Structure 1
Amino acid sequence: MKYDLFVSVIIPVFNNSGGLKICLQVLEIQSYPKSLYEIIVVDNGSVENIKFLVSQFPQTSFTNEPQPGSYAARNKGISIARGEIIAFTDSDCIPALNWLEVGVQHLLSVPKCGLVAGRIEIFFKNPNHPTAVEIYDRITYLKQNKYIEKYKFGATANLFTF
């Protein structure tokens, strides 16, 4: 695939520095060319020092959104994004190492495509002893295929759009 489209990855965060660190570590080593993507972390009022964490990742920029809510934070990220493509994930997500590459490929492979949304795998804190809530979430929550096919939207934990 020829890489020539710049991608802005937007990550809203609220008091999840541990999850965000893992997410950013994976985003720093994507198979997509580093020169063709930026990562924008939008802090949504955390008491944790998210700005300091973000400063440890040279490909990542930081901004604040004081209005509560992940959608307000995502919109703030969109307002400063430079990308022709916008990719969304969340601070508690661990993208695959080829997430950007595959997301862009799928977005470009369908003429007049508005968005693509990928699978979201829910993992258990303790894989040997999942809680009832974790099992319920894995069975019922974030079913991207259903969202796309039936409702024509995708969850922003794994979504690409222009």
Structure 2
Amino acid sequence: MKSLSQEQVKQSIETKLPSFSIIFETENLSSIELDNIYRSLASIAAQDISPEQANEFLIIDGGYAPQEVIDEISSKYPWITLQKAPGLGYYEAKMLGATLTTGEIIVYCDSDCVYVSNWLRNILTPFMQSGEINVVAGETSTPVRNAYELAIAMHYFFPRFSYQEEPYISDYYFLNAVAFRRDFLLQYPIPTNLPLYRGNCDIHCYSLHCLQENKIWKHPKAQATHEPPTLSFCIWRYLLMGRDRVLKEHIKYLLTKNSELVDYAQLSTDLNWTLAQKIKGMLSTIKRIKPFDNQKIHAVLQEDKSRSGLLPLAVPIVIGLELIFAIGSIVTYLKSDLLLKVYYQSEENFTYLNQS
């Protein structure tokens, strides 16, 4: 029997691929260097399944990218469709994209990530294997090029790449590298009306996987490299992460009590703790301070043992990040909406000054 060539196998797979749409946002440009959008789009353009095969490649622009950048990338990549949505939040933009696109599969990617050349293929192919597969995520990690990025790699919420060979079932996804069957996503949408900064997809995962027992598949060869937050944004990011941790735990508790809850906005009205609960929560936060994750540190150093030379510089940064994280949680017990209000006000002032 004559065996098929690698190119023939590739073409055979492509003819069987489900129709798909790709949704790309610009909000994350507020926390990274603007040049990242060029690197991100270049990595998508270089995919071995061309983005031109998508029903749509839709950029939801909330006004975070300068017009000259939008014009430049639209000219360079004619397969881009632009949807202006000024001031729209991250999760609202993602769900708006799902309603505007037509592919059977909705693929999400972000402007602060660079994707390996077979990322799109590995995200899409599991959907061909079974109609019961509704969610396929890739793995997302961060680069290490200096002591600050080593600290981020040891402490930030992104894990290291697993380097496994086959897809496996997970209990979470990251919205910068995941695909959904469109009908499934519209039936079980990512909540957009939670009192969180970022963490809606964490609640979505909890609801899908833990409460409704839907499977989240993860393909280890669909790798995305996420830029670390800029040093200037990092303090805010960690304060808000501390805030989100408190509120996510509370929301999960409420969802567990009422798993049939449809209107997530109802959860934001039940955040008034008693004095005793506040004290208990703050003490619990202090007890949970643990800056070093030995498993993650081991994984980071196993990737490149020469990084151990950066440890003396990275360790104080890790301790500082953990303390900022804890402060964010403690402030939230005292006043749950304070940090987010101050952050958004500072963002408005920054935008106003830049436009003046």
TM over 0.5: yes
Kindly indicate whether residue 57 of structure 2 is the aligned counterpart of residue 39 of structure 1.
Answer: yes
- The amino acid that maps onto 2:27 is F
Which residue, out of 124, 129, 137, partners 2:147? 129
- 1:45-92 deviation line (CA, Å, top 9, x unaligned): 225224213312111111122343111111222222121111111101
Give the deviation of 1:113 after TM superposition.
1.0
Which residue, out of 83, 91, 95, partners 1:71? 91
Q: Is the 8 A contact 2:24 2:59 kept in 1?
A: yes
In the superposition, the TM-score normalised over structure 2's length comes to 0.39
In the superposition, the TM-score normalised over structure 1's length comes to 0.80
1:14 alignment counterpart: 27
- The amino acid that maps onto 2:40 is C
- Counterpart-to-counterpart distance in 1, 2:23 and 2:46: 16
Moved >3 Å (runs of 4+): 142-145
1:28 alignment counterpart: 45
Higher helix share: 2
- Counterpart-to-counterpart distance in 2, 1:59 and 1:11: 13
Kindly indicate whether residue 166 of structure 2 is the aligned counterpart of residue 149 of structure 1.
Answer: no
Alignment partner of 2:148: what SS? coil
Kindly indicate whether residue 113 of structure 2 is the aligned counterpart of residue 93 of structure 1.
Answer: yes
Tell me how large the CA RMSD over aligned residues is: 2.5
Structure 2 stretches lacking a partner, 5+ long? 1-12, 163-168, 182-356
Summarize the Cα distance change of 1:159–1:15 in structure 2 as closer, same or farther, 3 Å threshold.
closer
1:102 alignment counterpart: 122
Alignment partner of 2:114: what SS? coil
Q: Is the 8 A contact 2:58 2:97 kept in 1?
A: yes
- Counterpart-to-counterpart distance in 2, 1:104 and 1:83: 12
Summarize the Cα distance change of 1:149–1:26 in structure 2 as closer, same or farther, 3 Å threshold.
closer
- The amino acid that maps onto 1:149 is S
Give the deviation of 1:136 after TM superposition.
1.0
Higher strand share: 1
- Counterpart-to-counterpart distance in 2, 1:15 and 1:112: 32
Between the two proteins, the alignment pairs up a number of residues equal to 154
Give the deviation of 1:144 after TM superposition.
9.7
Larger radius of gyration: 2
Alignment partner of 1:87: what SS? strand
Alignment partner of 1:130: what SS? helix
Summarize the Cα distance change of 1:28–1:154 in structure 2 as closer, same or farther, 3 Å threshold.
same
Summarize the Cα distance change of 1:118–1:47 in structure 2 as closer, same or farther, 3 Å threshold.
closer
Structure 1 stretches lacking a partner, 5+ long? none
What's the % identity of the aligned pairs? 21
Q: Is the 8 A contact 1:44 1:66 kept in 2?
A: yes
Give the deviation of 1:107 after TM superposition.
2.5
Alignment partner of 1:103: what SS? helix
| Greater RCO (CA < 8 Å, at least 6 residues apart) | 1
Q: Is the 8 A contact 1:54 1:61 kept in 2?
A: no
Q: Which 10-residue stretch deviates more, 13-22 or 54-63?
A: 13-22
